[in-house]
A and B are shown apart, each in its own frame.
Chain A
């Protein structure tokens, strides 16, 4: 095994994940929340790639492919929801959407 230690790769993946989580928790703009979600999904993919590289197996990349599919579907549906929310409430502030009907 040359080069990159697995611990450092996993550490970077955890750091990116936590940064994305902070973004989801702190930001109130719906588009920024979706972008932070992308960062989180990307960090999990990085963890899989690091593990796949460590053992020289293809499974890591396959899990990354599945995560990519999930991210694409999630972004499509999420941005559709954002469009609907903007058309109804004329805002993208997540805190202003706290009212429920019924």
Chain B
């Protein structure tokens, strides 16, 4: 039973990724990318990595995708934006992602309702992860925090309105 769910979810993930890299419009690609990430989250759950599944949904499909949406919307300022959004959000666009999301939702319901029969893989729970994370991997956590700090400073610096430029747009 787990195997069937695994194959269905794998198909959803691969299909959503293929659709993502073939979309001409960045927003449509983003919709399918979110679907791909959610499908991988379900895969994590099926593999018994519940903590990683939660993080996948919250951080990947939540925070990072919001960043993408934010930048795409920032790059489309001006009068034509409203027309553009009207074209982007046509009802037909939503059908594909909605169907894929529905498949994932049905799988989730199935796992929740038939929790006993749809047994997931070998479960490594959050407690074990936490103990290992702050035990032998303490240095890695510190390095990750340094990386995030560097990313924060870099994003702040690069996100300033304009760096040193002349009027022609070339570096002075």
Contacts and interface: CB of A to CB of B under 8 A. Distances in A.
User: Is A bound to B?
Assistant: yes
Interface of A: 1-4, 8-9, 12, 15-16, 19-20, 22-23, 26-27, 29, 31-32, 34-36, 38-39, 42, 45-46, 49-50, 52-54, 56-62, 64-66, 68-77, 79-84, 86-89, 92, 101
A37 B6 CA distance: 24
A61 B13 contact: no
Contacts of B48: 53
B68 interface: yes
B52 A39 contact: no
B21 A27 contact: yes
B147 A70 contact: yes
Contacts of B60: 38, 42, 68, 71
Contacts, number: 189
Nearest to B55: A68
B121 interface: yes
A79 B67 contact: yes
B147 to A, nearest CB: 5
A34 B70 CA distance: 14
B15 to A, nearest CB: 10
Nearest to B17: A19
Given A3-B6, A49-B47, A77 B155 contact: yes
Q: A interface, by DSSP: helix, strand, loop or mixed?
A: helix
Given A56-B124, A70-B147, A101-B171, A4 B75 contact: no
B26 A32 contact: yes
B158 interface: yes
Of B14, B18, B49, B171, most A-chain CB atoms within 10 Å: B49
A49 B52 contact: yes
Nearest to A43: B40
27 contacts: A1-B121, A2-B119, A3-B3, A3-B119, A3-B121, A9-B6, A9-B47, A12-B14, A16-B13, A19-B18, A29-B26, A31-B68, A49-B47, A53-B121, A60-B49, A62-B140, A65-B129, A65-B144, A68-B60, A71-B60, A75-B68, A76-B67, A76-B151, A79-B71, A79-B155, A80-B154, A87-B161
Given A15-B14, A35-B68, A88-B169, A52 B6 contact: no
Interface stretch (B30-38, B91-99, B104-112): B30-38
Contacts of B18: 19
A33 to B, nearest CB: 10
